């Protein structure tokens, strides 16, 4: 069916690209090290993440919890995709990207018990300090390391948000 073409193209493409890049990282970058690509801004690193986005739940001892969450998310994505109408590409493509990314990270968890992250953006490894309402706040000017699967999930979610905000027909009041 034509309706499932984006799902059958994009999800496997993301899965394959994700694992090819992770395989390259495993072969070329020792664990815990980095290689400058754009000095003081972008590095290729070899980090591991036992949790989900931004290392949430990384100290969780039961991986079953993460498998259940991922399984529920995959089921919801497949259900949402099945409910799309043929030709509804603005919804099907983002769902396929998110599904491919979720599968990429799930396969990592099943094989290694953790996800390989390798893309790291930062600004001169600087820490910013400031005060808000008398409370001191500090943070590193960096984005947590991520991978191709994470990028696909993020892009898919952003595309869905844009679709809902800018492309959904607005109901007219009577």
- Report the C-alpha gap between 55 and 114 in whole angstroms: 10
Q: Which of 62-76, 77-91, 132-146 has the lowest mean pLDDT?
A: 62-76
- Report the C-alpha gap between 143 and 129 in whole angstroms: 17
pLDDT band with cut points at 50, 70 and 90 for residue 54: low
Q: Known catalytic residues?
A: 117, 150
* The dihedral formed by the CA atoms of 72, 73, 78 and 83, expressed in degrees to the nearest 10: 100
- Report the C-alpha gap between 141 and 36 in whole angstroms: 16
- Report the C-alpha gap between 105 and 111 in whole angstroms: 10
pTM comes to 0.85
**Structure confidence by residue, pLDDT tens digits, 80-115:** 999 999 989 999 999 999 999 999 999 999 999 889
Distances (CA, A) of 43 to 15, 53, 60, 125, 153: 22, 19, 28, 11, 21
For residue 166, pLDDT beyond 90: no
pLDDT recorded at residue 167? 75
């Amino acid at each position: 069916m034509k309706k499932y073409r984006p799902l059958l193209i994009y999800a496997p493409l993301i899965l394959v690209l994700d694992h090819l890049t992770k395989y390259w990282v495993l072969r070329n970058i020792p664990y815990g090290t980095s290689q400058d690509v754009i000095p003081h801004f972008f590095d290729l690193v070899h980090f591991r993440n036992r949790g989900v986005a931004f290392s949430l739940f990384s100290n969780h001892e039961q991986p079953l919890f993460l498998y259940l969450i991922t399984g529920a998310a995959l089921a919801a994505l497949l259900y949402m995709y099945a409910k799309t109408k043929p030709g509804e590409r603005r919804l099907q493509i983002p769902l396929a990207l998110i599904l491919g990314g979720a599968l990429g990270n799930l396969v990592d968890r099943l094989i290694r018990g953790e996800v390989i992250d390798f893309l790291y953006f930062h600004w001169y490894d600087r820490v910013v300090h400031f005060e808000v309402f008398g409370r001191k706040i500090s943070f590193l000017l960096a984005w947590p390391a991520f991978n191709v699967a994470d990028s696909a999930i993020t892009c898919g979610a952003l595309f869905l948000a844009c679709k809902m905000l800018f492309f959904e027909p607005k109901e007219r009041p009577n």
